[in-house]
Amino acid sequence: MAENDVVVIAERVVGSHPDVTFELLGKAKEIASALGGEVHCLVVGSPEGHECLGAADHLHLVEGEHLWPYNPHAWESAISALLSQLKPRLVLASTGTVGIDLCGALAAQSGSMLASYVVDLSVEGASLMAVAQLYGGKLMAECDLGEGPAFVTAIPGSFAGHAARVDGVADATSHSHDGADARMRHVALTEPEKTGVDITSEELLVSVGRGIGSQSNIDLAQELAEVLGAGLSASRPVIDQGWLPKAHQVGKSGKKVKPKIYLALGISGAPEHLEGMRQAELIIACNTDATAPIFEVAHYGTTADLFDLVPEILDLIGG
Amino acid sequence: MLLAAVETRKIFGGTTHLERVLFYLLSLVVLVVFFAGLGLRVKKYMAGRPLDAGRFRRARVPLEKPGVSAPIPLAQTGVDIAANRTVSRRNHAVGGAHLLLFWGFLGLLAATIIVGLDYDVYGNLTRIFGGKELSFFKGWFYLGYNAVFDTAGLAAIVGAVWLAVRRIRDTKSSVALDYTRAQKPKSGYSRAAMTAGDHLFIFGLILILFTGILLQGLRIDAAGFPSFERWTWLGYTVAVGFGALGLHGSAAGSAHFWLWWVHILMALAFVAYLPFSKALHMISAPANLAVRDPGNTRRLPSPPSGHAGYQDFADFTSKELLGFDACTKCGRCHAVCPARTGGAPLSPRDLILDLRQYADRKRGIPMVLDWEERPDQSGPKNLEGRLAGEVIEPATLWSCTTCMACVEICPVGIEHVPTIVSLRRSLVDAGEMDPTLQSALENIATQGNSFGKSSRMRARWTKGLDVPIPDARKEEVEYLWFLGDFASFDERLQEISRTLARVLTANGISFGILYEDERNAGNDVRRAGEEGLFEMLVEKNMEAFSKAGFQKIFTTDPHSFNTLRNEYPAYGLDKPVMHYSELLASLISEGRVSLSGLGRKVTYHDPCYLGRYNRIFDAPRSVITSAGCELVEMPRNRTNSFCCGAGGGRIWMDDSVLAERPSANRIREAAELDVGYFVVACPKDYAMFSDAVKSTGNEDRMKVVDIVELFAEASGELALAGAASEEAPES
Amino acid sequence: MKIVVAMRQIADLVEELEVDASGADIDREFVKFVSNEWDEAALEEALCLKEAHGGEVVVVGVDDVDFDQTLFGALAKGADRAVKLSCGFEGWMPTAVRAELLARWLKDESFDLVLTGVQAADDLDGQLAGVLGARLGLPHAAVVVGLEPDGDGFKVTQELGGGVTLTSHATGPLVLGIQAARQAPRYVPISRIRQAMSAGGIEELEVEAPTARAPKVTRLFAPEAKGRAEMLGDKPSEVAARIVELIRAKGISVS
């Protein structure tokens, strides 16, 4: 029954399939079984490397002239065309690239409901109920997506993904989409420069946020990182101010890091930042604002002033 | 021939008719040049904006003091000038030398005028109308004249030589006399001409004075030592010297003839040179002192109508243009400036010199050896560029902490701070500022505080008080407590605010606060150059005041104190404004509280906006000494206190460009004193110096405390918060 | 070049947000509403484009609480026109509704670009650029960090996450969700805003009530403090000692 099917849009635009696709597949299976439907996975453009998507009941590979590298306009028309054939109950994507770029338009075109920033999703009766993170993570909204077709874009890391990483695709279909509409064409895809800085390989990261206050105070964090033999990373505001190069950025538009210890100094914990570091084994957060969202993901926290704390740590181990 | 021995001398000794004509023609040319030069200057001042008369139409505040917030009476300025008081300040040696030269020069000027009156006016008048040329330059008058003005000549020579020796000796070692710019132009620059001009001025003056004395001697020698010339004591002494060297009679007369011309030509050249050189200060400095208004810095002038800040030459006031011309490059402002000391690109001296050069070039007024040279058309040579941004670099303008040390020490009454703020206003208008300053201003505009916290959080610090603080909007109180942002939002300072609240409650003071209706008072917003935001804050606060019932205001923050006391009256505030240090001091002086001796050795830092700006020096000191502390003064105290670096909006800007933060410089000064406590009376100081004590590694030796913490501890109500007080060394 | 900037107000996240009596929306009565920060970036980008290439900047939005402030700010910064669409809507406005109202107005306007913020803190039913693009049938892109006129269209640079950026050439008109402008939003002095206010200049248009549908919010609540950090106190020396201990316990050697 197609009207109870769940479609997952694979997020892959470079490299291999990201974790979030498996998280979405896992959730899709749960929802599909509750609805009595099947899971379809849509892969657009990328030609190979899809054996790991075995969790889906059906794999749809869409190929065409403007689809690879990623082209939002061509992707939208390709996905739209396929969805109009599949007529699923639910389309799942992430709040990453594809979700934020395309899902609003796809939902509007098909007259479907859409919920963004979703961290939880369930079937209640005939309705789909989603819980979304709003107001910079300060409030959660539970919403009723109704009984009709719906789109959900989920925040990466919200669902478990390991179980959905299954090799061996059962049913793969190739589609070709002729993106004749060339109102948008590819110019360049730029991967981050290799600067010799690789914060993803550090065991211990000292990470600084807006609370560091000024460029000059970066030196203090730098000193701490050096003494601890740690890497130095930062949240977006610090990078935007130009206080540290882009290669040091943790978060949605920076790097995803999984160190053994993540020491967050003066980071309030915007959702975009949490996305990049919540998988660290141990998170220690220092922020003078006791209500900062970083304390929601941190294992240990302190409201001591970082300018008092860091010199103390340096005294303990540096001297 | 007794009559022939009448006590007088010929004015044009041994000169021909042709030479007289030559002399008068030269004099005429020189006077034309002098007055033309002076005219150019006066026209320049007239091209500036007239003073904003609105400043004088403000309500008088009972606490206004002449020389602090009210203009200095003219008679006082006369005394200041006569005594060279502003020159002697903090430098008596130079002041004394300058005083000798000042009065010596005035004496010689008077002497020249008297001779001119006698010979050219009285003599000619009596010859034309009476048929016989008369003179009063004889007899007792002549003798007294010589005795008095020889003394003046000696005084001038001693003063001038003293100043010259000091300049030669100290140029290398003195920060003030070092002409190296604080802001280094990329293309380089040379101030060699300025140095040459200084030397020309002082040594030229010495030569003129010296040849004058020699002339006296030669004349007396040539005349065969008439006994009455002993009254011309200095000339006579020199004549005796010439005699001893074997110079007599016609040889002396001939030498006198030639030297007379050398002397006269130099003196005439000096008169012509005066309006185009450093010598101009002889006129511009007293004039500027007469129009100075110390209230101008404490209560900033409004922007020129039509645009936000200074953009062009025409935006300067006449007074500012006069002030630029008054600068003698003495460098005292350069030496005391915390920005310059910290390695920032601002030197008040360089700023004034740049603006003077810019103004003179704009007006086409030439200067003799008093300009800085550059290979390109940058800085003051950039006549078409933006005044704030190109002529003066933004970083230079943003470096100012508005601490007012420059205005305080300037011997010629230049008011640097209002000029800097007027230029900053242009930068703000163009949106050109440090990103951290921008976000602070945005926070203040939307939330009313620089912390970016919700305005509803303003009174959150009161949580934890046993006795709640009355809401002045709901009940009548005697004092309205205006906290300011730091005392309300900074966690370190909230504890101090609670201590003050407990002290006041315990002593039965009737006080209340405005809760979420208090806004940043706007002192530093205004000094950062955001005049519109300042006005908005004034309106919001005035609205809150109007809803509250109170008789007086006291503030925690000296910056808020300054604007409430000096600037808000123009917007209708008619209540006395005090600082909490005054309130605490009055509790002690009225005997309402008895303090026990803490027996500590402490030093005290005068906040700029409390001390220098508002002359409150003794109230915090009386709290300290009444609490039984031994107060050891830092070398720089009271009006010479050294800024913590936070004022004028600097606290919202990045200070990583500084080689040494002013606060660290200050803590190093205090660390020399061997005191255990660094006492402050300003929330910003508490924050700045707490950091500086750590960054300079003095954490174990010195603790930063607020006067109210000492007060509370000494009154037995509360102990200093935390265990740190036990760790801090007792002296 | 004519650039339309779609702006809006959003509850100030500096404030403590409370849930109203219905349990499904924030308590709007005492909350302060400020301009959406990403919309400010969109405005900045539009102004920079205008300054570099000439053209016109028109700011438009639905009549949210205190929206006049934002419009006057935009005019003071250099926008040429400011348009306010009023329909008496109250409470939380879904993106679908906002897009519908804007699309109706845009239908009659000519433009080369519509710029808006990449997201807003309460855009539960999708980000405006995409929804509006679909309504207008125009190409659109989100997370835009670079924009330049290029031949017959524009060169658009998007962030794809993980530091990857994508540059495309697109022929207009386009709808773009701006993540960051080429420079931080400029400061506009209060005196200029006041000048703009006294000059007036907001075009106010009454528009028909919207019909678009959106998911129904059934409950709004503060996140559970389930994974809340164990607090180490706030005494620096003690906290420092604990942190060093924790680092060592993870097998990381520090001297």
In this prediction, residues B602-617 reach a mean pLDDT of 97
Residue C223 burial (10 A CB sphere; 0-12, 13-18, 19+): middle
Best to test chain A binding among C10, C34, C124, C138 (most A CBs inside 10 Å): C124
Under a CB-based contact definition with an 8 Å cutoff, are residues B354 and B362 in contact? Answer: no
**Same topology between domain B14-49+90-279 and domain B449-586:** no
- The torsion angle over the Cα atoms of residues B299, B296, B318 and B95, rounded to 10 degrees, is -170
Count Cβ neighbours within 10 Å for each residue of C43-74 and write b for 16 or more, e otherwise.
bbbbbbbbeeeebebbbbbbbbeebbbbbbbb
Closest alpha carbon to B580 in B677, B709, B452: B709
pLDDT in tens, B635-668: 999 999 999 999 999 999 988 778 999 999 999 9
CA within 13 Å, CB half, B199: 9
Supply the pLDDT for residue B718: 55
State the average pLDDT over residues B533-546. 97
Tell whether B460 lies on the interface with C, counting CB pairs under 8 A.
no
Structure tokens of C144?
Answer: 């835009």
Comparing B248 with B208, the larger pLDDT belongs to: B208
* pLDDT at residue A216, rounded to an integer: 76
Distances (CA, A) of A279 to A149, A200, A257, A299, B51: 33, 12, 7, 11, 66
Please name the residues in contact with B696: beta carbons below 8 A apart, sequence gap of 6 or more: B664, B667, B668, B671
Q: Which of C124, C125, C104, C140 is nearest to A112 (CA)?
A: C125
**With bands split at pLDDT 50, 70 and 90, how would you rate the model's confidence at B293?**
confident
Name which of A153, A261, A309 is nearest C252 (Cβ-Cβ).
Answer: A261
Mean pLDDT of B508-512: 96
The answer to whether residue C230 neighbours chain B at the CB level (below 8 Å) is no
* C-alpha to C-alpha distance for A163 and A120, rounded to whole angstroms: 17
B94-120: per-residue pLDDT in tens?
Answer: 999 999 999 999 999 999 999 999 988
Chain mean pLDDT for chain C: 93
* Structural domain spans, chain C: 2-206
CATH number for domain B449-586, candidates 3.30.2310.20, 3.40.50.1860, 1.20.120.530, 3.40.630.30: 3.40.50.1860
End-to-end CA distance of chain C: 61
Name the average pLDDT for chain B. Answer: 91
Task: Give me the mean pLDDT over the A143-160 stretch.
Answer: 93
> Taking the CA atoms of chain C, what radius of gyration do you get in angstroms?
22
Radius of gyration of chain B (CA): 31
Q: Which of B46-60, B578-592, B680-694, C214-228 has the lowest mean pLDDT?
A: B46-60
pLDDT above 90 (res B691)? no
Q: Taking each helix axis as running N to C, give the angle between helix B580-589 and helix B707-714, from 0 to 180 degrees, rounded to the nearest 10.
A: 30
Q: Compute the average pLDDT of residues B265-281.
A: 96
Check C187 against B442: CB less than 8 A apart.
yes
Instruction: Return the number of CB contacts < 8 Å for A and B.
Output: 19
Domain B589-727 CATH class label: alpha beta
pLDDT of residue B600 exceeding 50, the answer is yes
The pLDDT value recorded for residue A210 is 87
Residue B509 scores a pLDDT above 90: yes
Q: Which of C161, C230, C253 sits opposite A300 (nearest CB)?
A: C230
Q: Is A222 at the interface with chain B, CB within 8 A?
A: no
Tens digit of pLDDT for each residue in B459-505? Answer: 999 988 999 999 999 999 999 999 999 999 988 899 999 999 999 99
Say what the pLDDT of residue A13 is: 87
d(Cα A302, Cα C233) in Å, to the nearest integer?
A: 6
Q: What is C36-91 written as a DSSP string?
A: -HHHHHHHHHHHHHHHHH--EEEEEEE--TTHHHHHHHHHHHT-SEEEEEE----S
Residue B61 has pLDDT above 60, yes or no: no
Number of alpha carbons in the 13 Å side-chain half-sphere of residue B572:
10
Q: B235 and B216 in contact (C-beta within 8 Å)? A: yes
In this prediction, residue C51 carries a pLDDT of 97
The reply to whether residue C34 touches residue B441, judged by beta carbons under 8 angstroms, is no
For A216, the closest of B435, B654, B694 (CB atoms) is B654
- Which residue in C9, C47, C191, C237 has the most chain B C-beta atoms within 10 A of its own C-beta, making it the best mutation to test that interface? C191
3 state SS for B131-181: CCCCCCCCHHHHHHHHHHHHHHHHHHHHHHHHHHHHHHHHCCCCCCCCCCC
Model confidence at A49, in pLDDT bands (50, 70, 90)?
A: confident
Q: Is A282 buried (19+), middle (13-18) or exposed (0-12) by CB count in 10 A?
A: middle
Q: pLDDT at residue A252 above 90?
A: no
> What is the distance between the alpha carbons of residues B5 and B48, in angstroms, rounded to a whole number?
58
Respond yes or no on whether the N-terminal peptide bond of residue B62 is cis (omega within 30° of 0): no
Residue type, position A292, single letter: A
Region B314-333: what's the mean pLDDT? 96
Give residue limits of the domains in chain B: 14-49+90-279, 449-586, 589-727
Predicted confidence at residue B728, as pLDDT, reads: 41
- Considering only the C-alpha atoms of chain B, give the largest distance between any 2 of them, rounded to a whole number of Å: 105
Rounded distance, CA B216 to CA B220, Å? 6
Class of domain B14-49+90-279: mainly alpha
Q: What is the pLDDT of residue C8?
A: 98
Q: What is the mean pLDDT of residues B405-413?
A: 97
Looking at residue C3, what is its pLDDT? 98
Q: Which of A115, A284, A296 sits opposite C223 (nearest CB)?
A: A296
Least confident of A56-60, B15-19, B185-189, B678-682: B15-19
Say yes or no for a CB contact (<8 Å) between A214 and B436.
yes
Average pLDDT over residues B690-704: 90
Strand A58-63, strand B677-680: pairing: unpaired
Check CB contact of B435 with chain C, cutoff 8 Å. yes
Q: What pLDDT score does A271 carry? A: 82
Residues B612, B402: Cα–Cα separation, whole Å: 11
pLDDT band at B52; cut points 50, 70, 90 = low
Q: Report A:31-60 residues touching B (Cβ under 8 A).
A: none
SS3 at position B303: coil
CA distance linking residue B589 with residue A84, whole number of Å: 87
**C253 pLDDT exceeds 60?**
yes
Whether the bond into A245 is cis, omega within 30 of 0: no
Please choose, from the candidates C157, C192, C195, the residue with its C-alpha nearest in 3D space to the C-alpha of residue C176.
C157
ipTM more than 0.95? no
At residue C233, the pLDDT reads: 84
Question: DSSP readout, B551-579?
Answer: SEEEES-HHHHHIIIIIGGGGT--S-EEE
* Amino acid in the structure at residue B363: R
Contacts of residue B194, Cβ cutoff 8 Å, sequence gap at least 6: B179, B329, B369, B370, B371, B372
Radius of gyration (C-alpha) of chain A in whole angstroms: 22
- Judged by DSSP in three states, B630 sits in strand
For residues B578-582, average pLDDT:
97
Task: Say yes or no to pLDDT of B63 above 70.
Answer: no
Q: How far is C211 from chain B (nearest CA, A)?
A: 34
Residue closest to B223 by CA, chosen among B245, B260, B256, B246? B256
Residue A84: what residue type? S
Within 8 A by CB and 6+ apart from B687, the residues are B486, B490, B492, B493, B646, B651
Give residue A98's pLDDT.
83
A269-282 pLDDT tens trace: 888 898 889 889 89
Q: What is the mean pLDDT of residues B218-244?
A: 93
Residue B4, pLDDT score: 41
Which residues of chain B lie closer than 8 angstroms to A307, CB-CB? 691, 694
What residues contact residue B326 under an 8 Å CB cut-off, 6+ apart?
Answer: B281, B284, B285, B287, B288, B289, B412, B413, B414
Q: What is the pLDDT of residue C23?
A: 94
8 Å CB contact between A159 and A30: no
For residue A55, the distance in angstroms to the closest alpha carbon of chain C comes to 25
% of chain B at pLDDT higher than 90: 78
d(CA A106, CA A103): 5
Residues of A in contact with B453 (CB under 8 A): none
Report the mean per-residue pLDDT for chain A: 90
C2-206: which CATH topology?
Rossmann fold (3.40.50)
Question: Tokens 């679909």 — which residue?
Answer: C134
Is B401:B646 a contact under the CB 8 Å cutoff?
Answer: yes
- Nearest in space to B579 (alpha carbons), one of B543, B608, B548, B542: B608
CA separation for the pair A298, A280 (Å, rounded): 9
pLDDT at position C131, please?
97
| Residue of higher predicted confidence among A254 and A248 | A248
**Residue-range domains of chain A with CATH:** 2-176 (3.40.50.620), 199-318 (3.40.50.1220)
- The mean pLDDT of A119-128, rounded to a whole number, is 95
User: What's the whole-number mean pLDDT along residues B574-583?
Assistant: 96
Residue from B80, B30, B476 nearest B276 by CA: B30
State how far the Cα of B256 lies from the Cα of B341, in Å rounded to an integer.
Answer: 52
